[in-house]
Structure 1
């Protein structure tokens, strides 16, 4: 896919190392962090993407820099931190879903500052924010609040709550922050787990319609192997996920977010009004494209989004260590 230099995305948040527990008890170090994964996936899809993150000067920080630059992510707004890289120890359950233990205190992501915010938001079309570490980490939360305020009325804001319950010690503060960030967003892409954590007595549809009433233009809720749901003021859809041989689900949701943004950019749904005009069939095509990419990511260990180039067959050619193959994306 040719890089669309006229369309620019800034992703803001953590760049960390996932330590993946292996069957023999050892750990495999892989670049990760929801914002990092999303930035990598977007760049590999041909979208000009910058990451605002704190990158350490240690070996893990160098691993992250190499991973990001080789994927084409722009690091002009990245901050160099003297503190060590944030770590996430990942364990897989019987369904290959990951749970995490985070090491943030004293690390790069524990010392964010509003000085880390880039000045060039006016050259950006889309701001992507993940709640994963930012919602429960005060220093990061302050930065995101500032950034979201500056983006209001200027950018399309994509927010993925990506709630990490293990990090939350003050639920009231986090829920208030979560609710506020949702109202400041153009697109909310959440998981069924996010919805159940915050609104355990409501259905996905009920929550989505509440967000629409609060001004969100597009809501997408992912539900793992069960697929995804999409809602606007006038359209809704549900899409099934294909059956794949899952290695793990790390980075799948982040790749979904990138795939969704990619489809919307390709089809010129890049304003609030345009997003609200999506028909159910267009919404289904967007979700199907995102699901295809997320499903492909599940077939490799760690967060390793596919590289993609356009084809004329309604598919994309995906390149990984096993060579090219086709992934259906319907009417791209």
Structure 2
């Protein structure tokens, strides 16, 4: 990769989705993988560093990723089996999850030429890989890359909230951009307002913290200010992958605005307000497309921008 290389780190797995009509679908997924898919469909060439088996499920995931322009790092095929996440959809379109996860960080990762790295979800805090992952991110930051982080809360597989909160905070502090959902904050910081947590996180290092609230839009926080972005009204089919679509569109928009990437550390702190609002409105539109159809199916560039 040249210095504009885009690396996504985190789990890719098979989503086993139990729908309200009794049907069961088995499809490739995983939050970081969905972010990579979004970026690929928006015209980027993201590289995904993940941990899957060299089995039928792992090859199916690889084919799914490659079909949207994602480059799967060869060292990703080191697991003895491919992980699964079972999602049971509720009446409101939300999901509860059951996980069978095997996760690790390959030892032979090439860090050269990476301009921006995104990390998220289970793979960011799951032991024993959480320490090596943090070291890898630290090395990338020293080398000039920017970092984005999406701390998805998954109570079924993560440690107690107070332990996970410390892991979240360490990764937040090293990041340039953080996107988190209201549901994630309710679990990891019970009793605190979204605003208080987001302001504390923004003061710890990142130039931008986004709190998504489903159809109610998003809150954007910098160290000095905050503002609200409206959601997009749409008939919801299900919400699987909506936050990941928002995250992918956010990375894409900030890269286009010159606020992320090699040589742009700190740039997100000085991005023009109107430019940032435009980026976030586009993220909301992208997420609305995803929730309007079944599964984690992000829009293409043509669908989003016409």
TM-score (norm 2): 0.91
Which deviates further from its counterpart, 79-88 or 10-19? 79-88
1:132 alignment partner, one of 122, 127, 136? 122
Cα separation, partners in 2 of 1:84 and 1:202, compared to 1, 3 Å = same
Please report how far the alpha carbon of residue 156 of structure 1 lies from its aligned counterpart in structure 2 after TM superposition: 0.8
Aligned counterpart, 2:17: 20
Q: 1:128-185 CA distances to partner (integer Å, 9 max, x unpaired)?
A: 01033432x2123133222222123421110100010111244443222111111111
**Pairwise mapping of residues 172-187 of structure 1 onto structure 2 (< 5 A)?**
172-187=162-177
Asked whether the equivalents of residues 19 and 89 of structure 2 are also in contact (C-alpha less than 8 Å), the reply is: no
1:216 alignment partner, one of 206, 223, 241? 206
Given the alignment of the two structures, is residue 283 of structure 1 paired with residue 281 of structure 2, yes or no? no
Which deviates further from its counterpart, 141-150 or 295-304? 141-150
Please report how far the alpha carbon of residue 83 of structure 1 lies from its aligned counterpart in structure 2 after TM superposition: 1.5
Cα separation, partners in 2 of 1:195 and 1:170, compared to 1, 3 Å = closer
Q: 1:204-229 CA distances to partner (integer Å, 9 max, x unpaired)?
A: 22222212221211111101111111
Cα distance in 2 for partners of 1:146, 1:309 equals 38
Aligned counterpart, 2:244: 254
Given the alignment of the two structures, is residue 309 of structure 1 paired with residue 302 of structure 2, yes or no? yes
Asked whether the equivalents of residues 20 and 90 of structure 2 are also in contact (C-alpha less than 8 Å), the reply is: no
User: What's the secondary structure of 2:239's corresponding residue?
Assistant: coil
Q: Return 5+ residue gaps in structure 2 as ranges.
A: none
User: What's the secondary structure of 1:101's corresponding residue?
Assistant: strand
Query: Which runs of 4 or more aligned residues in structure 1 lie more than 6 Å from their structure 2 counterparts after TM superposition?
Result: none
Higher strand proportion, which one? 1
Please report how far the alpha carbon of residue 262 of structure 1 lies from its aligned counterpart in structure 2 after TM superposition: 1.0
TM-score (norm 1): 0.85
1:297 alignment partner, one of 290, 295, 299? 290
**Pairwise mapping of residues 1-332 of structure 1 onto structure 2 (< 5 A)?**
7-104=4-101, 109-110=102-103, 112-115=104-107, 118-119=109-110, 121-135=111-125, 137-153=126-142, 154-270=144-260, 271-309=264-302, 316-317=305-306
Cα distance in 2 for partners of 1:24, 1:269 equals 44
Cα separation, partners in 2 of 1:208 and 1:57, compared to 1, 3 Å = same
Q: Return 5+ residue gaps in structure 1 as ranges.
A: 318-332
